[in-house]
Amino acid sequence: MSAFTQWFNERTPGLGAVYKKHMTEYYAPKNFNVMYYFGSLALLVLVNQIVTGIFLTMFYTPSAAGAFDSVQYIMRDVDWGWLVRYMHTTGASMFFIVIYLHMFRGLMYGSYKKPRELVWLLGMLIFLALMAEAFMGYVLPWGNMSFWGAKVIITLFSAVPWIGDTLVSWIMGTVGAAGLYVPGDATLNRFFALHVVALPLVLLLLVVLHLGALHEVGSNNPDGVEIKQHKGPNGHPLDGIPFHPYYTLKDLVGVGVFLIICAIIIFFAPTVGGFFIEHDNAIPANDLVTPATIKPVWYFSPFYAILRMIPSKGLGVLALIASILVLFLVPWLDRGKVKSIRYRGLGYKVALAIFAAVFFLLGCIGADLTPGWITAVFGPNADITSIENLFGRILVILYFAFFAFLWVYTFFGLERTKPVPERVTTHA
């Protein structure tokens, strides 16, 4: 131990122990595969959003009159402003790509099962906070899709019994030209405060708790084997390796590949054809001109499709909430003892594949890609609405059916699992 380290340790009681517990003496299973990169990548994107966000905040004006101009000011007059903003917009979309893959990993390998239920719940809370964070961030540039997106989403609160309309007025807080509440100056200011201060704090706290809970019980792995059950004479798991340096270095390779993908997007196609930055947001917010189709950014589109496919607004909002809340219940819906998809029954494998496909197709409906497909398949005179509704409603049923199936399949012992090995089987 160097003199400096000793001097430092004497003055920071517990800090060295924390570092050891979470880095050099946190034993992670040695058989992590590609799917295990996305946790650390999510942390990287969070840091990126905070750092680029701080710089954007220095030049952004949170007012209905100034917001749109200030974004163009950042893009054109601020040195490297375009780079910082594209890093932030690309980061927002990449955040969801990484998080969706991270959640899918959890479903693949049963990472939500005992003893990791709390890790999953905290992760779901992070997902909720992230959705709120992303929605409010999307409103800030005050383009026309920002405005209409805010209007549509805030208006969903009118489905709350008794106080719904009051709630909508309270959130919007701005009286428009027609004497009605609309998204405006007040909305923009409160969303700005929530986006740059409140929700990032919540996110950081939840991330600390998520990691704390994980490190208490230890990481799962692609075999779904508890490595703590086989410890060597030194008390460390036989199939475990210290997180640092092994996984810090492995994750560094993942970070490199991830950054290459991000750089290609940022420098060569930052709007990704209107998916990461939408065309209608190049038009300033205007409550008199409705965009041809109001749709949220791609990462909300599966949930938006569920809302749209239900004919009643109240039921649609309930289905939207249920589609997210049901994910919280997964640790208790799934009664199966086998964690990893490698040793689970065929039924689970098929169901998870269908669920992933359904989520993707719902996303295509929510992103308004389906009308083009329908005319391509059924001809130009096809009744787009009814075909889309039929297709979409089947998908909504299949989405919820996955969770019902999961419970029936495992509760009544219908699953035929394979024997789970005692020790992890591969490493890479």
Partner 1 sequence: MRDMTLRASVRTLSALLLALAVAFAASPSAFAEEGGYPDANINVHDQASLQRGARLFMNYCVGCHSLKYMRYSQMAAGLGLTEQQVMDNLDFTGAKFQDAIVSAMPEADAEKWFGKAPPDLSLEIQARGADWVAAYLKAFYLDPSTSSGWNNTVFPNVAMPFPLWQLQGEQVAVMNPPEDGQPGTVKGLKLAHPGSMTPAQYDEAVRDITAFLAYVSSPDELVRSHIGAWVVLYLVLFTLFALVLKLEYWKDVH
* Smallest separation, CB 259 to partner 1 (Å): 5
* Cα–Cα separations (whole angstroms), residue 209 to 35, 118, 254: 22, 10, 24
- Residue closer to partner 1 by CB (options 55, 181) is 55
Backbone angles phi, psi at 143, to 5 degrees: -80, 180
* DSSP conformational letter for 218: -
Residues 73-102 as x/- pattern, contact with partner 1 by CB under 8 A: --xx-----xx--x----------------
Q: Is 204 in the site for partner 1 (CB under 8 A)?
A: no
Task: Choose the stretch contacting partner 1; rule: CB under 8 A; options: 51-59, 273-281, 304-312, 346-354.
Answer: 273-281
* Smallest separation, CB 59 to partner 1 (Å): 14
Q: By C-alpha distance, which of 279, 300, 296, 288 is closest to 143?
A: 279
Residues of span 30-49 touching partner 1 by CB under 8 A: 30, 33-34
Distance, in Å, from the CA atom of 195 to the CA atom of 329, rounded to the nearest integer, reads 28
Q: Is 163 in the site for partner 1 (CB under 8 A)?
A: no
Element (H, E) at 332: helix 330-333
- In three state form, how does the secondary structure of 361-397 look? HHHHHHCCCHHHHHHHHHCCCCCHHHHHHHHHHHHHH
Task: Choose the stretch contacting partner 1; rule: CB under 8 A; options: 102-110, 259-267, 350-358, 389-397.
Answer: 259-267
First to last CA, the chain: 32
Task: Choose the stretch contacting partner 1; rule: CB under 8 A; options: 4-12, 213-221, 264-272, 302-310.
Answer: 264-272
In sequence order, what are the residues at sequence separation of 6 or more whose Cβ sits closer than 8 angstroms to the Cβ of residue 59?
70, 73, 74, 78, 81
Residue with tokens 């990484």: 98
* Smallest separation, CB 47 to partner 1 (Å): 17
CB neighbours (10 Å) of residue 180? 11
Q: For 87, how many CA atoms within 13 A lie in the half-sphere containing its CB?
A: 21
Q: Is 104 in the site for partner 1 (CB under 8 A)?
A: no
**Torsion angle, CA of 196/197/200/203, rounded to 10 degrees?**
-150
Of 65, 253, 325, 376, the residue at the interface with partner 1 (CB under 8 A) is: 253
Q: Is 267 in the site for partner 1 (CB under 8 A)?
A: yes
Q: Is 289 in the site for partner 1 (CB under 8 A)?
A: no
Task: Choose the stretch contacting partner 1; rule: CB under 8 A; options: 123-131, 280-288, 306-314, 357-365.
Answer: 280-288
* Smallest separation, CB 262 to partner 1 (Å): 9
- Residue closer to partner 1 by CB (options 215, 244) is 244
Of 9, 158, 189, 271, the residue at the interface with partner 1 (CB under 8 A) is: 271
Provide, for the chain, the percentages of residues in helix, strand and coil under a 3-state DSSP scheme, each rounded to the nearest 5: 70, 5, 30
**Cβ-contact 238, 427 below 8 angstroms:** no
Distance, in Å, from the CA atom of 48 to the CA atom of 336, rounded to the nearest integer, reads 38
Of 207, 282, 384, 408, the residue at the interface with partner 1 (CB under 8 A) is: 282
Total residues contacting partner 1 by CB under 8 A comes to 46
Length of the chain: 428
Distance, in Å, from the CA atom of 173 to the CA atom of 64, rounded to the nearest integer, reads 13
Q: Is 174 in the site for partner 1 (CB under 8 A)?
A: no
The type of residue at 327 is: L
In sequence order, what are the residues at sequence separation of 6 or more whose Cβ sits closer than 8 angstroms to the Cβ of residue 80?
none
- Residue closer to partner 1 by CB (options 3, 260) is 260
- Residue closer to partner 1 by CB (options 265, 398) is 265
- Residue closer to partner 1 by CB (options 212, 371) is 371
Retrieve residue 181's tokens.
């509440």
* Smallest separation, CB 72 to partner 1 (Å): 5
* Smallest separation, CB 34 to partner 1 (Å): 5
Q: Is 257 in the site for partner 1 (CB under 8 A)?
A: yes
Residues that bind partner 1 (CB under 8 A): 30, 33-34, 69, 72, 75-76, 82-83, 86, 241, 245-246, 249-250, 252-261, 263-275, 279-280, 282-283, 372, 426-428
